[in-house]
Amino acid sequence: MNTKKIHFAGETALLLVLLINSLGVDLMSKSGLGISTISSVPLIFNNVFPIISFGTWNYIFQTLLVITLMILKRSFCPGYLFSFVIGIGFGKMIDVHNIWVQTLPNVLPLNVFYFIMGFFLMCFGICLANNCMLPIIPTDIFPRDLSEILKKKYKLIKTSFDLSCLTTTVILSLVILHRFYGIGIGTVFCAFLTGKTVSIIQKFVGEHIEFYRLTGKKRMMLGRNVRHA
């Protein structure tokens, strides 16, 4: 039986991504159970080389990801440059949410709830970002476009990417700091389950939503441009 799909503007989806992904990051950070695998890389570099701020390391990391994609595609992609603007907005929203998130009670049962809520918000936001047909944060663009370049399932590429970030953080922590830094049980959880969870969400939402752009004539079925099956 065919289900009538909900039409949803990509611009609205991108706005939601900025709102809920930044909230997800703050909730996971508040939980104290470990940050996301992607954030762990610039965080460890900031600790090893504190002369460069955490925010600057984030942009350096994102720049390297974008350059890698353009090398693999063997072409200059102007759309990737606009993703940095989105990244700035994302960082600002993290600061906004952080103001009130830090006032939440800090007890173990609630910390577990914060982490779970933050994780699912992040996964749902990644799902929207992958399909909004607009420039998104480089750290979200990289696994999405790499899965298309390599013609591999998104969940496989995303999990491999997260595990690579986790491995890099672990090696730098042990070799340079001689201890684990910025890594918790939640970080390991994210490394193994983020890609799979995003894939499941995309498959479910794809049965009910058709995305379109207010600024263009493009339309798409959610999940059609991401290899998640």
pLDDT tier, 229 (very low <50, low <70, confident <90, very high otherwise): very low
Residue 108 lies in a domain: yes
Query: Are residues 17 and 128 in contact, defined by beta-carbon separation less than 8 angstroms?
Result: yes
130-165 confidence digits (pLDDT tens): 888 887 888 888 888 898 888 888 888 888 998 898
Confidence at residue 133, expressed as pLDDT on a 0 to 100 scale: 82
Query: Are residues 5 and 208 in contact, defined by beta-carbon separation less than 8 angstroms?
Result: yes
Which range marks the domain in which residue 99 is found? Answer: 6-221
Query: Are residues 135 and 83 in contact, defined by beta-carbon separation less than 8 angstroms?
Result: yes
Confidence at residue 66, expressed as pLDDT on a 0 to 100 scale: 83
Residue 229 lies in a domain: no
Checking if the pLDDT of 34 tops 90, the result is no
Checking if the pLDDT of 190 tops 90, the result is no
Q: Which two tokens stand for residue 177?
A: 């700091």
Confidence at residue 222, expressed as pLDDT on a 0 to 100 scale: 42
Residue 116 lies in a domain: yes
Residue 190 lies in a domain: yes
Residue 101 lies in a domain: yes
Q: What is the largest CA-CA distance in the chain?
A: 60
Say how many domains are in the chain.
1
Q: What is the pTM of this model?
A: 0.77
Confidence at residue 86, expressed as pLDDT on a 0 to 100 scale: 82
Residue 39 lies in a domain: yes
Residue 109 lies in a domain: yes
Q: Determine which of 23-27, 83-87, 117-121, 198-202 has the lowest per-residue pLDDT on average.
A: 83-87
36-55 confidence digits (pLDDT tens): 788 788 878 877 888 877 66
Checking if the pLDDT of 225 tops 60, the result is no
What are the b/e assignments for 116-139, b being 16+ CB within 10 Å? bebbebbbbbbbbbbbbbbbbbbb
Q: Percentage of residues in the chain with pLDDT exceeding 70?
A: 91
Checking if the pLDDT of 78 tops 50, the result is yes
